[in-house]
Amino acid sequence: MPPRSKSRSRSTSRSRGARSKSPAKATKKASVTSTKKSKPKVGLGSGKAEYTIILPVYNERENLPIMIHLFSQYLSLTDYHVIIVEDNSPDGTREVAKQLQNSYGADFITVLEREGKLGLGSAYLSALHLVKSPFVILMDADLSHHPKFIPKFVSKMSESGCDVVTGTRYRDGGGVAGWDTRRKVMSKGANFLADFLLSPGVSDLTGSFRLYKTPVLREIFPLIVSKGYVFQMEVMVRIIDAGYKVEEVGISFVDRIYGESKLGAGEVIGYLKGLLNLFLTT
């Protein structure tokens, strides 16, 4: 099958009213409307943070405290707010999240408690309803994405005026540590196939460590139909199709130390189905 004739450029941009760096301040307290089974833990931040980090977690009891500690080491707590989306993990992650909120304070951490494993896209959408800041960061909570790269994302967006900054393992000094040959081949194969079929204009379409302007996410999220790991890929494809400007920053991706990978045969099949759907609909 030949590559599609349509090409996308990550430097493409156009003047849009929705692409403001700072959205209007909310006059009412945000609420979760995406699912009846979601309820926020009391404490939604001061509303003064410039950046909100959304962390979906499931069975991350060991990793979550380390991640929060790294945030406190590399970031200014007054500029950032963390929303932990907890899907009723059986390993006690919820209790750990509550303890972290009590330790660091509700101005820094919100715990969004859900009654079951409702999916990655649903987790992001539920948390987005609570966001008060002009910028949003999506990343993994298993220590694969190191917070030390966040200031680089922020600098790139400030310098370039782009709408989205995405981390890449495949250019600008990026790389992967801790993967066996099988995982490396699978990752490169997945990105090659996505690039061949979609011509996305970014080097790491399957990556999930990104900084967005909040209005961009609010516009794009309602358009997303994919589930699981394909969710993030579709978000990027839709953003580039909409004409927003995307820049990349090289990151070091490190395999998780604690817990088990959630990537299995079902996720691989889901990825292939989702990729085919994107090819047919974009």
What is the dotted CATH code of the domain comprising 29-133?
A: 3.90.550.10
- List the alpha helices (DSSP H) in the chain: 63-74, 93-104, 120-128, 150-160, 181-198, 214-220, 230-241, 265-281
What φ, ψ does residue 170 adopt, rounded to 5°?
-120, 10
pTM of the model: 0.79
Cα distance between residue 162 and residue 21, in whole Å: 10
Question: Domain spans of the chain?
Answer: 29-133, 167-208+216-282
Cα distance between residue 250 and residue 17, in whole Å: 30
Residue type, 153: F
The per-residue pLDDT string of the chain (282 residues; one tens digit each, 9 = 90 and over) reads 444 444 444 444 443 444 444 444 433 333 333 334 444 444 456 668 999 999 999 999 999 999 999 999 999 888 999 999 999 999 999 999 999 999 999 999 999 999 988 888 899 999 999 999 999 999 999 999 999 999 999 999 999 999 999 999 988 888 888 777 877 787 778 878 888 888 788 999 888 999 999 999 999 999 998 877 788 889 999 999 999 999 999 999 987 666 565 555 666 777 788 888 888 887
Place of tokens 């820049």: 247
